[in-house]
Amino acid sequence: MRDWDAPYDDSNSVRLQFIVWHRRSTLIDFVVNVQVLTSEGWDTVESFDCCHGHCHLHPQNADLEPRTIAQLDTVDDVVKAFAQVEQEAHDRARIIRDEG
């Protein structure tokens, strides 16, 4: 198990799901889901994606608008945004774990 796939607590109740798309060896798109374990299975409570020309966070509070992380004008922008999102997703998972 790679470190970024690791659960954030001993009871394995919060996890990150990384879904990535490559063209040849270049990252071109991604989704990162912050998920919590419920009685029905894993539920995505927050997500980061690259739709509409910008990378953004869909926060746990559905009343809030998605928060832009980065504008995506080139493939290089996607790679840079992924690096930002990877760290922020870890932070969000820890916060959600501590709230639960």
Domain ranges of the chain: 3-99
pLDDT at 14: 92
Residues 6+ apart with CB under 8 A from 28: 21, 22, 75, 78
Per-residue pLDDT of the chain (100 residues; tens, 9 = 90+): 334 454 555 667 899 999 999 999 999 999 999 999 999 999 999 999 998 899 999 998 888 899 999 999 999 999 999 999 999 999 999 998 888 6
Q: What is the distance between the alpha carbons of residues 30 and 73, in angstroms, rounded to a whole number?
A: 15
pLDDT at 4: 46
pLDDT at 8: 52
pLDDT at 11: 65
Residues 6+ apart with CB under 8 A from 1: none
